[in-house]
Structure 1
Amino acid sequence: MLEKKHHEYREKIRAFALEKIEPLAATLDAEQRFLHEHIKPMAEMGLLSMLIPEQYGGQPVDTLSYSIAVEELSRVCGSTGITIAAHNSLGAYPILAFGNEEQKKRYLPRSVSELVAFGLTEPEAGSDAGGTKSYARKNGDHWILNGTKCFITSATHAFATIATAKTTDDPKDTAITTFILEKDWEGYSVGKKENKLGLRGSDTAFLHFDDLKVPAENQLGKIGEGFKQMLITLDGGRISIGAMALGLAQGALDCALKYAAERVQFGKPIARHQAIAHTLADMATEIEAARLMIYETSL
């Protein structure tokens, strides 16, 4: 399943994660501090542009390599894993998949080194995108957008957000339209930051749009196609979330194996007690099964 290039890529990302990411991981989580220190070196490694073609400044890799990268980053820091997964799969990808050439040239080169957020979920609408309350009204050569998005990864730090809104007054019409919104526009503001139990180095917050003036050229795709676009986007994103979970599990097993080899009871490391050894073996087996499933999906 894995070619030589995949093994070499894993070694490269693993070495980077151990050197650059792991030393700060616990501190960022404990202090609920965003991983600013990681963004520049990750951009230089191409980790912000794994799905972006070279013509826009990206360092593209195949889907399996992408999954391996998210896995290895999450193995030492789940916050880093989810930040990278959300940016690539949910932020940059919709621009690549549904944007016109002008939009790609304008936003993808910047996405190589800066984060893009994904704004679908609202207080009353998540999986039920038809319940979207955000509304955009056409006004000449632009749209006026009002609404609120919640649980947005990297909301505070992304330079742009891919966001959805209803574009019709008909309450029976559940169609939504997608827009590219820039953080520095008047009417775009970041709201409450969530206080989480885990992944605390990853930023999760509300976004508010108050009479946000959106140029017509920032409409992503056709009017009413937003739901279809989001389903396609989320399908790809699920692979990276699986890879993130895999990395977290492997990281937990790494810690368990290390402790079991160091902790001595009854005159020997607890890893040599059969009950502990069987538990560790079961954990390793389940993780390997998950890895095979995720890699197969990534092919």
Structure 2
Amino acid sequence: MSANDLYALPSEYNDLRESVRALAENEIAPHAAAVDEDHRYPQEAADALLKAGLSAAHVPTEFGGEGADALAVVIIIEEVARVCGSSSLIPAVNKLGSLPLILSGSKAQKEKWLPQLAKGKGFSYCLSESEAGSDASALKTKAELKDGSWVINGSKKWISNAGVSEFYTVIAQTDPSKGSKGITAFIVEKSDPGVSFGAPEKKMGFRGSPTREVYFDNVIIGDDRRISEVGAGFALAMDTLDHTRITIAAQALGIAQGALDVATKYSHERKQFGKEIFDFQGVQFILADMAMNIEAARQLTYAAAARSERGDKDLKFFSAASKTFASDVAMKVTTDAVQVLGGYGYVSDYPVERMMRDAKLTQIYEGTNQIQRIVMARNLPKG
């Protein structure tokens, strides 16, 4: 291998980017403003992504999916988020919800649920609770074994695409005396008796992706729904997040790139004092810093995705680092994009105010950036 090859993406990834970008521009972007304004699910995006095999591209080919690797999924999410953050949650949530099944489920379990996911039935992830956010091991939802079946009672908070998804990975306490080692993972279906949903949260951003509580009232399921060993659910949940927080980095990266694209174009169109505002050094410095930091975030995110695919030992550090850095960059870039557009940036005629609102959540969910810094520190090389 020559030095010329070291940092060049193979052509298939560039081809994927071009195809996803075309789809996003033509079939998702035209609806993005209305999706945000009306707080409605981006059905047009869901239909377009499903038709193109992109709504759950990570599903292995043997189960009816595209078999996309971690980097390909990152590129898909990045390009969709570039025009609509809410729509990018479709492939991101589907991967998050189903990855515990992929990592730990039996072949029979995979054969049951993954083909349905590939055909468009969504998969959400139920970990967080009202009193168990950053401290996920403090969860109270219980699953009790009675007469060979599991009975689940409790509720989950902040669940993305709740009510739209058909399937839910539920992390529940099966032996409270063992703390985090008494937690087990299950699959619950939307149609199971006793499953219900709260009202959609009224959110600052990602308004097109419904976020709701999920309630479990004596939900009875068989042991064939258990996808971890009894007591191994918390470890599985954490392993899942090591892989999937990279998709949040991808979201942040796409949002930031979209904001830079808008700001750069506007800087050449807007004239003040008889010339383009791009010609002012102050604006050039802002745009240059935006582009520099986005490119740094992209390199870190892609490096993390490669480690996810290989299962490298330093994945925890790179996963946390990519999510933290990319989301911090997205917040700064979108804020600066609003500044470049001035008054126009502050109103919804342009998408940068929406992008700024969406960017904020990437610093919070799948582990706040403060928690990610703790993860990074604990996974620094010793010596």
Instruction: Please classify the TM superposition score into its range, dividing by the shorter chain length.
Output: over 0.9
Deviation at 1:49, TM superposition (A): 2.5
Deviation at 1:63, TM superposition (A): 1.6
Q: Is the 8 Å Cα contact of residues 82 and 241 (structure 1) preserved in structure 2?
A: no
Who is 2:357 aligned against? none
Q: Does 1:108 align with 2:118?
A: no
Q: Is the 8 Å Cα contact of residues 28 and 201 (structure 1) preserved in structure 2?
A: yes
Q: What SS is found at the alignment partner of 1:76?
A: coil
Q: Paired residue for 1:45, among 40, 52, 72?
A: 52
Q: Is the 8 Å Cα contact of residues 70 and 85 (structure 1) preserved in structure 2?
A: yes
Who is 1:284 aligned against? 291
Task: Give the superposed CA RMSD.
Answer: 1.3
Q: Does 1:75 align with 2:82?
A: yes
Q: Does 1:98 align with 2:104?
A: yes
Counterpart residue identity of residue 105, structure 1: E
Deviation at 1:170, TM superposition (A): 2.6
**Larger strand fraction of residues:** 1
Q: Is the 8 Å Cα contact of residues 257 and 280 (structure 1) preserved in structure 2?
A: yes
Q: Is the 8 Å Cα contact of residues 91 and 117 (structure 1) preserved in structure 2?
A: yes
Deviation at 1:181, TM superposition (A): 0.1
Who is 2:305 aligned against? 298
**Larger helix fraction of residues:** 2
TM-score scaled by length of structure 2: 0.76
1:94-153 CA distance string (max 9 Å, x none): 111111111101100001112100000000112322211001111122111100000000
Q: Does 1:28 align with 2:35?
A: yes
Counterpart residue identity of residue 157, structure 1: V
Q: Paired residue for 2:196, among 189, 193, 209?
A: 189
Who is 2:205 aligned against? 198
Q: What SS is found at the alignment partner of 1:170?
A: helix
Q: In 1, distance between residues paired with 2:10 and 2:280?
A: 37
TM-score scaled by length of structure 1: 0.97
Counterpart residue identity of residue 45, structure 1: A
Q: Does 1:131 align with 2:133?
A: no
Q: What SS is found at the alignment partner of 1:220?
A: coil
Q: In 2, distance between residues paired with 1:172 and 1:287?
A: 40
Query: Number of paired residues?
Result: 298
Q: In 1, distance between residues paired with 2:41 and 2:19?
A: 24
Who is 1:16 aligned against? 23
Q: What SS is found at the alignment partner of 2:199?
A: strand
Q: Does 1:3 align with 2:7?
A: no
CA 1:5–1:229: 2 relative to 1, 3 Å? same
Q: In 2, distance between residues paired with 1:280 and 1:22?
A: 23
Q: Is the 8 Å Cα contact of residues 131 and 174 (structure 1) preserved in structure 2?
A: no
Give the gaps of 5 or more residues in structure 2: 1-6, 307-383
Q: In 1, distance between residues paired with 2:14 and 2:145?
A: 51
Give the gaps of 5 or more residues in structure 1: none
Q: What SS is found at the alignment partner of 2:231?
A: coil
The ranges of structure 1 where at least 4 consecutive aligned residues each deviate by more than 4 angstroms after the TM superposition are 171-174
Who is 1:177 aligned against? 184
Q: Paired residue for 2:158, among 151, 164, 167?
A: 151
Percent identity, aligned pairs only, is 38
Deviation at 1:68, TM superposition (A): 0.9
Who is 1:231 aligned against? 238
